[in-house]
A and B are shown apart, each in its own frame.
Chain A
Amino acid sequence: MSCEQFEEQVSAYIDHELRDEETEILFRHLGNCVSCRKAMTVALDLRSGLRDQAPLLAPEELDEKVMSMARSRQLWMPDRVAVPVTMWQRRISMRVPAVAAAMFILLFGGFFASSLWLGPNDSAANAKVQTVYITTLPAVEVRGYTP
């Protein structure tokens, strides 16, 4: 192996990309070769010099631009929308007609049932919020009481 090839191994060594046996061969050569040792020093100096810099931080305006883009995309093209509803203890996944039916029952049935059967000690604090994933509807929040 020529010094040129060993220098390439030096570069891979400092990147932790050499196998054990390759590392052993490299270090045997380094023991006898001043110029390859110098290549190692230069590569390590370059690394510490480049990494030893103040971090480049994204400008704050980027937050607003990106998050408003994400919000508007989420609103108009939601891939999966979380709908917090009550009276449901597990995650379900349904198609739109089923969701529409379920929403109707939840909205009116839940409201009606709660007004009929909830005792005086029931409070909003007892309400359990549950997440339901649907595929195409925008976010709707339904609040009610656990029966």
Chain B
Amino acid sequence: MQPATDEQLVDRIRKEGSLAFTPLYHRYKHRVYAYCYRLLRHPQNAEDAAQETFLKIHRSLHQLDSSASLQAWIFTIARNEAFTILRRMKPSEDLENITDDVWDDETPLERVVARERSEILQHCLGLLRPAYREILILREYEQLSYTEIARVTNLSESAVKSALFKARKSMGKKLETILKGKNNELRAI
């Protein structure tokens, strides 16, 4: 039976060790994959990072501190794996370059107009500096608390608070610039 909460899952891990791996995997596989994908923006690399993450989790389940947040522990491991892969990625595979290619080249206007709002937001997210992007992903998608984000990123809680504010501000500005640019292009037709 699938444990309904993280607390129940941690309890099972404490009693059964790595025999409780399967429910943990099914509970977290989509979140871990999505997190890696959003950091790496590369499906195969995201899959590799997710696989490595679960391998590490399997290996170190016995080290899990049952009083700490399970999701913070899992995302700390996923972050390490994603960053290891990010460091190995060729510059051409890097996110900044991918988004530059996509956006700074002359994009046909119809394509831009057809873009969903969420796609534009995704694009803006990709334009943020990695530290801001990462912290927004942990907060907005994974919905981790400041305490958990601090644990995953090894920052203080006040640094998390400040970085989230700056990330949002930076993203708001980028969004505004893009939308203004598109409005001007539309007016020029």
Contact = CB atoms under 8 A, between A and B. Distances in A.
Contacts of B55: 66, 69
Contacts of B58: 69-70, 73
B33 A17 contact: no
A77 to B, nearest CB: 9
Give the secondary structure class of A's interface: helix
Given A49-B118, A70-B21, A80 B16 contact: yes
B18 A74 contact: yes
Contacts of B32: 58
A147 B29 CA distance: 45
Contacts, number: 109
Contact of A70 (B25, B47, B146): B25
A17 B17 CA distance: 34
B164 A11 contact: yes
A62 B29 contact: yes
11 contacts: A8-B165, A11-B165, A12-B161, A50-B140, A50-B141, A56-B34, A57-B34, A58-B33, A59-B43, A66-B29, A70-B22
Interface stretch (B3-11, B69-77, B92-100, B169-177): B169-177
Given A70-B18, A70-B25, 20 more contacts: A8-B162, A11-B164, A12-B165, A15-B164, A39-B172, A46-B175, A49-B121, A50-B121, A56-B30, A57-B30, A58-B34, A58-B47, A59-B47, A69-B54, A73-B59, A78-B18, A80-B16, A80-B18, A80-B19, A82-B19
Contact of B22 (A42, A57, A67): A67
Interface of B: 16-19, 21-22, 25, 29-30, 32-34, 37-38, 43, 47, 50-51, 54-55, 58-59, 61-62, 117-118, 121-122, 125, 136, 139-141, 145-146, 161-162, 164-165, 168-169, 171-172, 175
Contacts of B62: 79
B141 A51 contact: yes
Interface in A1-56: 7-8, 10-12, 15, 17, 39, 42-43, 46-47, 49-53, 55-56
The winner among B29, B59, B168 for most chain A CB atoms within 10 A is B168
Contact of A67 (B25, B117, B136, B141): B25
A50 to B, nearest CB: 5
Nearest to B44: A59
Given A56-B33, A56-B37, A69 B172 contact: no
Contact of B140 (A12, A51, A56, A82): A51
